[in-house]
Amino acid sequence: MIPPRWRVMFVFVLASALSYLDRQILSALAPTIKAEYGLDDLQFGWVVSTFSFVYALSAPLAGLFIDRAGLTIGICTSIGFWSMAGVATGFTTGLNSLLACRAWLGLAESGNFPASAKTIALYLEPRERALGSGVGQLGISLGMVCSPLLATYLGHVGLTSSQVYLHMTEDFIGELTRRQLDRFGDLITEVAQ
C-alpha cells in the first residue's frame, strides 16, 4: 500500500500534468489557432509570451497566498481558477480575449509549483524530498507528452481550438481534478495524524 504522504504527492503529479497539458496545448494547436483567429506569428508570440510573463510575476504572490491561506485552499483555488481560464478560452473571439485568458491562466497556474514544494517540505521526510521532487517532475513530462497527442486526436475528429479547450477543460481536467481534490483534504488529514 502506498503511504498517505506519497498519495498526496501523486495529487500534485496529476496537477502538474494537467497544468502542462493545458499550457502546452496552445503550441500544439498553433496552426489551428492562428488560422481560426487570423493571427500572424507576432500576434501568436504575444499570446504565448503573455502567459509566461504573468506566470513569472505571479509565482511569488501565489507562494505567499498558499503560505497564508494554507495548502488545501491554495491549490484548490489555483486549480479552480485555471480550469475556469481554460473554459473561458473556449469562448474567446479574438486576440484581446485570447490574451486575457492566457494572462488569467498564467496567474492561476502559478500556484502549482509553490504548492508542490510546500507539500514536499511538509509531508515527505528529509531523506525522501529529492525523490519527491523527481516524482513531481513526472507530471510535467506527462503533460508535455500528452498535449500534442491530445491536440492531434481532437483535431482529427474535427474540433476547432475553442471546442478543444472547452472539451479538454470541462470533461477531462475538470472531472479528474474534482475527483482528486475531493480526496485531497482526507489525505492531508490522514498524513497529519
Alpha-carbon span 118 to 70, nearest angstrom: 10
| CB-CB neighbours of 103 under 10 Å | 18
All domains of the chain in start order, with CATH: 4-192 (1.20.1250.20)
| CB-CB neighbours of 50 under 10 Å | 19
pLDDT digits (tens, 9 = 90+) for 103-116: 999 999 999 999 99
Total residue length of the chain: 193
**What Cα–Cα distance (Å) separates residue 173 from each residue in 29, 36, 176?**
17, 24, 5
Alpha-carbon span 19 to 118, nearest angstrom: 17
pLDDT digits (tens, 9 = 90+) for 72-107: 889 888 888 888 888 788 788 899 999 999 999 999
Inter-residue contact 44 to 162 (CB < 8 Å): no
Q: Summarize the confidence of residues 118-131 as an average pLDDT.
A: 91
Q: What's the predicted TM-score (pTM) here?
A: 0.81
Range from 4-13, 39-48, 61-70, 158-167 carrying the lowest mean pLDDT: 158-167
